Structure formats: structure tokens, C-alpha cells
Amino acid sequence: MYNILICDDEKDIVSALKIYLANDDYHLFEAYNGRQALEVIEKEELHLILLDIMMPELDGIQVLTQMRRTKNIPVIFLTAKGEDTDKILGLNLGADDYVTKPFNPVELLARVKSQLRRYMELGAGTMKKDSLQVGDIQLDDRAKKVALAGESVSLTPKEYGILKFLMEHPGQVFSPKQIYSQVWDEYAYGTEGTVAVHIRHLREKLEINPDEPRHLKVVWGQGYKIE
């Protein structure tokens, strides 16, 4: 589950953004001025911030400047049409993207997913390793090869993508929606069933007993993990 902070001094906008993001596996935090935003940033492990520019206490530019001293969390600025100068300044100071009010929900969701994907792919600011190992499963991303206890295993591109994503975050639970968004480029209905089928195929190829997996495990009601 991804933690997202929504910060805007207009409560109606915060409420609207919560509705737009409600259907995905996001845990949402709220703030209504810059000081509140910084308090949440310091206390919580965030994966993305939606940050208004014009706010009381501290504006979005000041919040961004302060947080960038210690945090590499992606920031999407929420901007009004007439804030081009502030928007450019924010991008120069380290903002990652912006959306203009009033929001197009489809565009907003696409930008949110894009920033989360990029953040996770970069390992929260550090490049990922080319070689991964969990237990006796080895993955060589440069050669696009997977081995089990030294024996080569043939995977489809989607199976490989799922395995690689889980191996990059051993022990961490991801919902089917989160896994789907990381591996598939297109949106589709029934993502939970699609991911479940691919996980089953991975178990058949990587587990001695697919019905009692040692590595690819389900956490009922939450998702999947590798350990």
C-alpha cells in the first residue's frame, strides 16, 4: 500500500482528491497548510505528495524547499492556471510534476501512478541492483534470466515482471492492484484474477510444492509477498 499526502488549503479540493484516489490501494493523509504538511512528512513514511502552491502558514514552494533537504519523496504540485511562474520555480527546486486545477481525474490518476512507479523503480532514489536473490531464487536482470538453485527457469515477460518486482521488495506485501500497476501498462478490469493466475504459474515453476509455497506467499485479504 502506498502512502500519499494531499495538502491543499481548500477542503473541497482535498475531499475531491480523496474521492479520485479512493478506488486504488492508497493510504491517504490530509493537510491544509504548509506546517501541517511538514509535520506529516516528518512523522509518516510517504511515497508521494500532492502539494498546493498557494497556502497559508507556509506555501508549497517553502514546503518543497525544506523537505528536499532530507527527503526524496516525489511531489506533484497542484497549481492554478495563473501560477506559471511558481510552477516553473517549483520544478526547478525539485518538484516532479504538476497538475492544473480544475483536475481531470483520469490525468491525475495517470500522473500519480507514473510518479509512484518511477519512485519504486528507482528504489526510493537509488538504482536497483542487476542481480537479485531471495532464498534459492536468483534473478539476473541484465541477462533477463531466472534460476532456481542454479537451474534455469523459463518465465513469460509478465511472470518475470511480477517476480522481479516482488524480489526487489522481499517481505513486503503488495495487493493485486499494486502488482498489476507495476507490471502491466494498460488498465483492465479483473486485475485480481489476472495477477492470481500469474502467481499460480510462478509457483508451479519455482516452488517444490506449489500448494505449500516457501517463497511466493499470499497474505489473505491483503496480497502477495516473497520471502
| CB-based contacts of 25, cutoff 8 Å, min separation 6 | 1, 2, 175, 177, 178
The set of cell numbers assigned to 86 is 511558481
Cβ neighbours around 206 below 10 Å, total: 23
Q: Would you give the distance in Å from CA 82 to the centre of its chain?
A: 30
Q: What is the pLDDT of residues 106-152, one digit of tens each?
A: 889 998 988 888 777 665 544 445 788 888 899 998 888 999 888 89
Which of 167, 185, 148, 143 is closest to 224 using CA atoms? 167
- C-beta separation of 158 from 183 below 8 A: yes
Phi, psi (rounded to 5 degrees) for 201: -65, -40
User: Helix (H, G, I), strand (E, B), or coil: what is residue 89?
Assistant: helix
Using the 8-state DSSP alphabet, how is residue 125 labeled? T
User: Helix (H, G, I), strand (E, B), or coil: what is residue 2?
Assistant: strand
Position 211 pLDDT exceeds 70: yes
User: Helix (H, G, I), strand (E, B), or coil: what is residue 194?
Assistant: helix
Q: What are the helix and strand counts (H, E) for the chain?
A: 8, 11
Residue 171: which region, alpha, beta or left (left: phi > 0; alpha: psi -120 to 50)? left
Position 218 pLDDT exceeds 70: yes
Domain ranges of the chain: 2-121, 131-226
- In CATH, the architecture of 131-226 is Orthogonal Bundle (1.10)
Which of 123, 113, 68 is closest to 92 using CA atoms? 68
Q: What is the pLDDT of residues 60-99, one digit of tens each?
A: 889 988 988 888 889 999 988 666 776 677 777 778 888 8
CATH superfamily, region 2-121: Response regulator (3.40.50.2300)
Phi, psi (rounded to 5 degrees) for 217: -120, 150
Say what the pTM is: 0.55
Q: Distance between CA 74 and CA 46 in Å, rounded?
A: 9
Q: What is the pLDDT of residues 28-43, one digit of tens each?
A: 999 999 999 999 999 8
